[in-house]
Amino acid sequence: MSIAVSAVVRPSRLLLVMVTAVCLCVILIAVLLAGNYFGIASGRRGLLLALTYLVTAISCWSLFFFSQKSYFIAISAAGQIRILELDGLVSETQEVSDSNSDSWFVVKLLDDSTLWPRLLLLRLRSESGRLFVLPILPDSVSLQSFRSLSVACRWIAVRIKGNDNQIL
Structural domain boundaries, residue 48: 14-66
Q: Which residues contact 161 (CB under 8 A, 6 or more apart)?
A: 111
If one counts the domains in the chain, the total is 2
Same domain, yes or no, for 28 and 106? no
Same domain, yes or no, for 89 and 157? yes
Same domain, yes or no, for 114 and 134? yes
Same domain, yes or no, for 22 and 62? yes
pLDDT at 168: 33
Same domain, yes or no, for 146 and 104? yes
- Residues of the chain scoring pLDDT < 50: 99, 165-168
Same domain, yes or no, for 125 and 42? no
Same domain, yes or no, for 94 and 126? yes
Question: Within 10 A of 38 (CB to CB), how many other CB atoms are there?
Answer: 11
Same domain, yes or no, for 22 and 79? no
Same domain, yes or no, for 46 and 74? no
Same domain, yes or no, for 102 and 50? no
Same domain, yes or no, for 85 and 23? no
pLDDT at 60: 96
Same domain, yes or no, for 58 and 82? no
Global pTM reads 0.79
pLDDT at 43: 80
